[in-house]
Amino acid sequence: MIDTQIAPTHLPQTMAPRNPGMALDMDKVMRATANRSAIERRAATLPGRRSLKKDHQAAWLARAITCIDLTTLAGDDTPGRVARLCAKARQPVRADLLEALGLSGLTVGAVCVYHDMIAPAVAALAGSNIPVAAVSTGFPAGLSPFALRVAEITESVKAGAREIDIVISRRKVLTGDWQGLYDEMRTFREACGDAHVKAILATGELGTLQNVARASMVCMMAGADFIKTSTGKESVNATLPVSLVMMRAIRDYHDDTGYRVGYKPAGGISKAKDALVYLSLLKDELGDRWLRPDLFRFGASSLLGDIERQLDHHVTGAYSASWRHALA
């Protein structure tokens, strides 16, 4: 039996109050800086800082499952593929493994799809309380006309998406147009209505860690419920240095306003051991309250398969073939 203090069946169901945003404070934005060498030194130590074994490791991996946005963003997505993915979201780990671990009711955090796949996902998840997240605003480049990007949000909310992953205009960051970024993000937030909004910064295309810090702060000021690293389509996606910068921006914003903003690393996180590193960094930088799906998500398509394989090893003592833990 795994650690019941960490096991997701013991998580409180309360949601963090939404971030209402605030007026753009340019003094605070310009004070957001990043010491690359110090950040990279700190990030380099993270994989070896904690060693989770046996029941403790299994408990943390179970927690990680509850924070996964199970994702399919392919041009050949079909309703059938999405339905199979949603079935996996409802039952992410085999029933016999859950019984051996002493867990029940384990699900992922959300299912993330393109707009056209919202309806099949909503139908497949009916009665589960697993939200559908939709990528929007001209994902992944964010270069379609502004009015169309706003309309896309509106249509996705109407279709049943309860979370919207928007992409920011990278050029506004690269040219220092912080007012323009704030106004854009504020408009997107208003278009989402009751749906939670995750702001994708596409950090691999922002040039510097200082830009990442400032873009994070501006998006939170404009009302983002989450800030997210990447679309998963860039050449560089989630990294530990970027995560450290974004988490510290979240901490500063919480210290100033009292509101908690969520964090979502996405792209390139496919191994259970990597998920444990991100969770340990989150715990160190932001504390236990962020270790819940209302404030933390992994954007991933293959991570769940490796976590289930590690849990199988924990229960049976032997590694199974990866094809036995297919997602769809």
Write the pLDDT tens digit of every residue in 8-55.
Answer: 544 445 789 999 999 999 999 999 999 999 999 999 998 877 677 789
Of the candidates 127, 128, 155, 63, the residue with the CA atom closest to the CA atom of residue 101: 63
Identify whether 241 is part of a domain.
Answer: yes
Residue type at 134 in one-letter notation: A
Residue type at 61 in one-letter notation: L
- 8 Å CB contact between 88 and 304: yes
Point out the catalytic residue in the list 228, 274, 294, 306.
228
Identify whether 3 is part of a domain.
Answer: no
pLDDT at 321: 78
- Which tens digits make up the pLDDT trace of 263-277? 999 998 999 999 999
**How many structural domains does the chain have?**
1
pTM: 0.94
- Which tens digits make up the pLDDT trace of 47-98? 877 677 789 999 999 999 999 999 999 999 999 999 999 999 999 999 999 9
Catalytic-residue membership of 228: yes
Q: What is the CATH number of the domain that holds 277?
A: 3.20.20.70
Identify whether 136 is part of a domain.
Answer: yes
Point out the catalytic residue in the list 69, 165, 274, 306.
165
Domain limits at 155? 8-14+23-325
Identify whether 261 is part of a domain.
Answer: yes
Identify whether 2 is part of a domain.
Answer: no
Over range 94-108, report the average pLDDT: 94
**Residue in the structure block whose two tokens are 């403790």:** 56
Catalytic-residue membership of 158: no
Catalytic-residue membership of 165: yes
What whole-number distance in Å separates Cα of residue 94 and Cα of residue 305? 11
The three-state secondary structure class of 195 is coil
Point out the catalytic residue in the list 88, 172, 198, 264.
264
Identify whether 151 is part of a domain.
Answer: yes
> Percentage of the chain with pLDDT > 90?
87
